[in-house]
């Protein structure tokens, strides 16, 4: 199966600042690729290049087989984009916002109310967006990205700073879209979201992709295979780290007899692995 | 419908909705139209060129019959000098007066020097004062039957252009171009605000990742601005009967004016600033553009540099057509200059907006 998104050696600079520096990757249909990196790492600029908002200084982008340099119109008609900024028309209702974009896409038969129901905004469809909460606006952004039933979704920090209800609704929508074969590129600096939603993860820092792999492989390759056991001996609490090697069974067995309080795996977090590659954390 | 026009009309439709949802501009537009129309009809629709002249002393019995029949002078008799002075001072009945002494007839008949007071209010032009002084001499000569020391000259007056003597343009008529251009200029602020908001909120980015192109976006804004300004200008012009005598020519001028202010609106809106920033920037353009409209209220006051202001050919075209019945041939040159300004300002506006959008 050919890739839905192909980025090849992308380079883009804002003046002297190289924001994207030789980025290459592919996303297959039905796959969610998470772009994990701190603010200013180059995630949003990469999305702008992939969606045709920016032209790269060098490199090539193909979306759904269309070269973005020459066939941008064809690609854009089949993509959905959820921007980091809540760029909605505040003076218009959710329904009016979606109707307007449906006209731009040339869609004559689109179930706007159905789409709004899907993101939990059906009851407020006629209200002006200016009266919406941050979470509601983000859900409307998601609905707008899905309006043209896209084959490729670009989602830039879609759950950033949202309440759990809104985050859950958006994550459910992402999983559903991937389930119907949509290629999803998701940028985030939330490692839990990246871990939960992504089939593969790309760590990006200073405009460069540091590594691309599945979350599981990253954790296995770069984490410690050990468990941390807290147990009570008399009046004292002891903490023991047991490496999961050949002797792990024997050592675990030796402390089972004591009063075990907690046992935690010492699997590396994505944050740990990112720090290992980038030399800095995701929130820095 | 072509795809391009479908996209452009969708953006224009959306902007019209946004315009009607903006309370400030909606109220300003509504109030503005009502105010302009009301103000226009409250102004005097004619110019009273008659001088109300008070007279006291023996001349009042003659009622200055010959003089009062002459054009533009109405004589009101007062029994005494003091009452005449009081009347001129009040200014409601008469604006000037001639106080003849009781011995006027005798003095004139005897060839003695007579003293006549010309009483004028402080607001009476110097020319009127001089004319009244001259009139006293004429009256004296008429009374004693003395001929003038020279034969009356057979002078012919040649007025270049339209002679409006006895047919002066009322203030209301002079306000027509001012109001028409004013409504065009004020509409600039509405367009600027819509464009700036689109940039500030980055909604334009969402538009441009659909099949809509940047060109569609720019064209739609240019059409919207022209549509808003032209519609309101025509509305005002119709309400104040400023679409005659040559409606096609006046509508053409209004349309070009709408294009002109759209260019200015795009330039101001490209800043992408908040409401106050757009207002300040918009006013920086609007104030110079208003100068020619004010200058036409006071003929002869426009300095040469005023002619270099883009709104000058628009204003003078409307004035000449509506007040002096100028035709296509008379204003063709100015319309050409106006078209040139439209091209320049619209091009600058579109380029500024394009650059701003591309650097978002």
pLDDT tens readout for residues A85-102: 899 999 999 999 999 999
What pLDDT does residue B105 have? 78
- Is the pLDDT reported for residue B63 higher than 50? no
Collapsing DSSP states into helix, strand and coil, what is residue B320? helix
| Mutation to test the A interface, candidates B18, B210, B213, B360, most A Cβ within 10 Å | B210
Question: Euclidean distance between the first and final Cα of chain A, in Å?
Answer: 38
Collapsing DSSP states into helix, strand and coil, what is residue B114? coil
> Strand A5-14's sheet: what is its strand order?
A17-27, A5-14, A58-63, A66-67
What pLDDT does residue B299 have? 65
For residue A267, which of A220, A202, A229 has the smallest C-alpha distance? A220
CB contacts of A92 in chain B (<8 Å) are: 14, 17-18, 21
A185: β partners: A33, A154
- CA distances A9 to A49, A57, B110, B250, Å, are 12, 10, 116, 59
Looking at chain A, the number of H-run helices and the number of E-run strands are: 10, 13
Across B83-115, b (16+ Cβ under 10 Å) vs e yields ebbebbeeeeebbbbbbbbeebbebbeeeeebe
pLDDT tens readout for residues B183-192: 888 888 888 9
Mean pLDDT of chain B, nearest integer = 83
* Residue B206 touches chain A, beta carbons under 8 Å: yes
Across B230-252, b (16+ Cβ under 10 Å) vs e yields bebbbebbebbebbeebeebbeb
Give how far B203 is from chain A: nearest CA, Å.
Answer: 5
- Is the pLDDT reported for residue B113 higher than 70? yes
- Whether the ω angle into residue B327 lies within 30 degrees of 0, i.e. cis, is no
Q: Do B202 and A90 touch (CB under 8 A)?
A: no
Which H or E run contains B227?
helix B214-239
Q: CB under 8 Å to B343, separation ≥6 — which residues?
A: none
What pLDDT does residue A1 have? 60
* Residue B355 touches chain A, beta carbons under 8 Å: no
Q: How deeply is B357 buried, as exposed, middle or buried, from its count of CB atoms within 10 A (0-12, 13-18, 19+)? A: buried
Task: Among A126-135, A166-175, B74-83, name the one with the lowest average pLDDT.
Answer: B74-83
What pLDDT does residue B168 have? 65
């Amino acid at each position: 199966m050919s890739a839905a998104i192909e980025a090849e050696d992308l380079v883009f600079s804002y003046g002297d600042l190289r924001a994207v520096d030789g980025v290459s990757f592919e996303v297959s249909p039905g796959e969610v690729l998470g772009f994990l990196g701190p603010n200013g790492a180059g995630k949003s600029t990469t999305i702008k290049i992939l969606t045709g908002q920016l032209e790269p200084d060098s490199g090539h982008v193909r979306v759904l087989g269309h070269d973005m340099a020459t066939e941008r119109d064809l690609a854009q008609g089949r993509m959905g984009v959820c921007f980091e900024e809540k760029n909605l028309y505040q003076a218009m209702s959710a329904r009016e916002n979606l109707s307007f974009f449906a006209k731009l896409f040339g869609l004559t038969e689109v179930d706007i109310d159905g789409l709004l129901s899907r993101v939990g905004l059906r009851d407020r469809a006629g209200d002006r967006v200016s009266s919406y909460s941050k979470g509601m606006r983000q859900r409307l952004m998601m609905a707008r990205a899905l309006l043209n039933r896209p084959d490729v979704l670009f989602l830039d920090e879609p759950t950033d700073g949202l309440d759990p209800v809104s985050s859950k609704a958006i994550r459910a929508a992402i999983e559903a879209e991937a389930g119907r074969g949509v290629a999803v590129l998701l940028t985030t600096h939330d490692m839990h979201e990246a871990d939960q939603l992504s089939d593969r993860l790309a760590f990006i820092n200073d405009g460069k992709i540091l590594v691309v792999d599945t979350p599981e492989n990253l954790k296995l390759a770069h984490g410690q295979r050990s468990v941390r056991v807290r147990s009570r001996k008399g009046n004292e609490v002891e903490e023991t780290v047991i490496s999961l090697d050949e002797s792990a069974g024997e050592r675990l067995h030796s402390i089972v007899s004591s009063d075990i309080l907690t046992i935690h795996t010492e699997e590396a977090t994505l944050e740990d692995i990112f720090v290992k590659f980038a030399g800095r954390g995701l929130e820095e | 419908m072509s795809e391009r026009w479908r996209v452009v009309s969708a953006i224009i439709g959306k902007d019209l909705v946004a315009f009607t949802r903006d309370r400030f501009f909606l109220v300003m537009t509504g109030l503005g139209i009502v105010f302009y129309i009301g103000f226009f009809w409250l102004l005097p629709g004619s110019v009273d060129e008659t001088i109300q002249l008070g007279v006291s002393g023996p001349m009042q019995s003659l009622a200055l019959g010959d003089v009062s029949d002459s054009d533009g002078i109405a004589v009101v008799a007062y029994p005494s000098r003091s009452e005449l002075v009081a009347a001129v001072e009040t200014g409601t009945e008469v604006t000037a007066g001639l106080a003849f002494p009781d011995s006027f007839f005798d003095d004139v008949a005897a060839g003695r020097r007579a003293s006549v007071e010309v009483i004028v209010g402080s607001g009476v032009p110097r020319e009127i004062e001089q004319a009244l002084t001259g009139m006293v001499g004429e009256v004296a000569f008429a009374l004693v039957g003395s001929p003038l020391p020279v034969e009356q000259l057979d002078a012919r007056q040649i007025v270049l252009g339209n002679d409006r003597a006895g047919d002066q343009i009322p203030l209301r008529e002079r306000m027509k171009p001012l109001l028409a251009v004013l409504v065009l200029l004020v509409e600039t602020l509405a367009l600027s605000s819509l464009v700036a908001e689109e940039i500030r909120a980055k909604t334009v980015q969402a538009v441009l990742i659909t099949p809509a192109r940047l060109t569609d976006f720019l064209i739609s804004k240019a059409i919207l601005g022209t549509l808003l300004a032209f519609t309101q200008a025509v509305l005002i012009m119709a309400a104040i009967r400023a679409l005659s005598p040559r409606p096609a020519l006046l509508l053409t001028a209004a349309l070009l004016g709408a294009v002109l202010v759209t260019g200015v609106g795009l330039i101001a809106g490209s800043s992408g600033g908040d409401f106050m920033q757009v207002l300040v920037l918009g006013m920086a353009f609007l104030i110079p553009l208003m100068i020619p409209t004010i200058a036409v209220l006071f003929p002869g006051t426009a300095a040469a540099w005023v002619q270099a202001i883009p709104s000058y050919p628009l204003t003078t075209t409307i004035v000449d057509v509506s007040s002096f019945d100028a035709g296509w041939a008379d204003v063709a040159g100015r319309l050409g200059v106006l078209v040139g300004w439209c091209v320049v300002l619209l091009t600058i506006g579109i380029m500024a907006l394009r650059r701003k959008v591309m650097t978002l």
